[in-house]
Amino acid sequence: MTNNPFPGLPLIESPIFPLNREQMGLSAEEARIATDLFENGYAVLDFPDGDLDARIARLQANLAPRYAIDFADPGSDKTVGERRIQDAWKFDDDVRAIASNQILLDLLGKLYGRAAFAFQTLNFPVGTQQEAHTDTVHFSSLPERFMCGVWVAMEDVLPGAGPLFYWPGSHRWPILTNALVGRSGFGKPLSSAQDPFGEGWRALLQQHAIEEQTFLARKGQALIWCANLLHGGSPQHDVTLTRWSQVTHYYFDDCIYYTPAFSDEALGRLQLRNLVAINDGLPRRNVYLGEPLSFEAGAKTPQRPSFVRELTKRWRK
Ligand SMILES: O=C(O)CCC(=O)C(=O)O
Ligand SMILES: [Fe+2]
The protein residue with its alpha carbon nearest to ligand 1, atom 9, reads 247
pTM of the model: 0.92
Residue 64 pLDDT > 80, yes or no?
yes
Confidence of residue 297 (pLDDT cuts 50, 70, 90): very low
Confidence of residue 152 (pLDDT cuts 50, 70, 90): very high
Cα–Cα distance between 194 and 196 in angstroms, integer? 6
The pLDDT tens digits for 208-256 are: 989 999 999 999 999 999 999 999 999 999 999 999 999 999 999 999 9
Exposure on the CB side of residue 144, measured as CA atoms within 13 A? 16
* 187/294: higher pLDDT: 187
Least confident span in 39-53, 126-140, 159-173, 295-309: 295-309
Residue 313 pLDDT > 90, yes or no?
no
How does DSSP assign 129-145, residue by residue? -PPSB-GGGTSEEESTT
| Distance in Å, CA 133 to ligand 2 centroid | 6
∠ Cα 248 251 253 (to 5°): 145
Confidence of residue 316 (pLDDT cuts 50, 70, 90): very low
Burial 44-61 (b: 16+ CB within 10 A, else e): bbebebeebeebbeebbe
Q: Name the residue of 124, 130, 140 whose CB sits within 8 Å of the most ligand 1 atoms, as the mutation to test its pocket.
A: 130
Task: Report, as an integer, the average pLDDT of 2-30.
Answer: 95
- For 224, counting Cβ atoms within 10 Å of its Cβ (0-12 exposed, 13-18 middle, 19+ buried), the class is buried
* 3/290: higher pLDDT: 290
The pLDDT tens digits for 94-103 are: 999 999 999 9
How does DSSP assign 54-72, residue by residue? HHHHHHHHHHGGGTT---S
Candidates 173, 199, 167; CA nearest to 40 is: 167
- Percent of the chain whose predicted confidence (pLDDT) is above 90: 91
* 263/295: higher pLDDT: 263
| Distance in Å, CA 137 to ligand 2 centroid | 10
138 CA: nearest ligand 1 atom: 10
- Percent of the chain whose predicted confidence (pLDDT) is above 70: 92
How does DSSP assign 5-16, residue by residue? S-TTS-GGGSTT
Ligand 1 pocket residues where CB is under 6 Å: 122, 124, 127-128, 130, 135, 149, 151, 164, 231, 233, 245, 247
| Distance in Å, CA 37 to ligand 1 centroid | 17
Cα–Cα distance between 305 and 317 in angstroms, integer? 19
What is the reported pLDDT for 295?
A: 66
CA distances from 255 to 4, 67, 209 (A): 18, 35, 34
Residue 146 pLDDT > 90, yes or no?
yes
Residues with CB under 5 A from ligand 2 (ion): 135
233 CA: nearest ligand 1 atom: 3
What is the reported pLDDT for 283?
A: 96
202 Cβ neighbours under 8 A, 6+ residues apart: none
∠ Cα 184 200 137 (to 5°): 55
The protein residue with its alpha carbon nearest to ligand 1, atom 8, reads 247
12 Cβ neighbours under 8 A, 6+ residues apart: 20, 34, 37, 38, 111, 112, 226
What is the reported pLDDT for 166?
A: 98
| Distance in Å, CA 213 to ligand 1 centroid | 14
Cβ(127)–Cβ(161) under 8 Å?
yes
The protein residue with its alpha carbon nearest to ligand 1, atom 10, reads 135
Task: Report, as an integer, the average pLDDT of 32-56.
Answer: 98
Cβ(41)–Cβ(225) under 8 Å?
yes
The protein residue with its alpha carbon nearest to ligand 1, atom 3, reads 233
247 CA: nearest ligand 1 atom: 9
Confidence of residue 82 (pLDDT cuts 50, 70, 90): confident
Question: Which ligand minimizes its atom distance to the CA of 233?
Answer: 1
Q: Name the residue of 131, 164, 234, 244 whose CB sits within 8 Å of the most ligand 1 atoms, as the mutation to test its pocket.
A: 164
The pLDDT tens digits for 180-196 are: 999 999 999 999 999 99
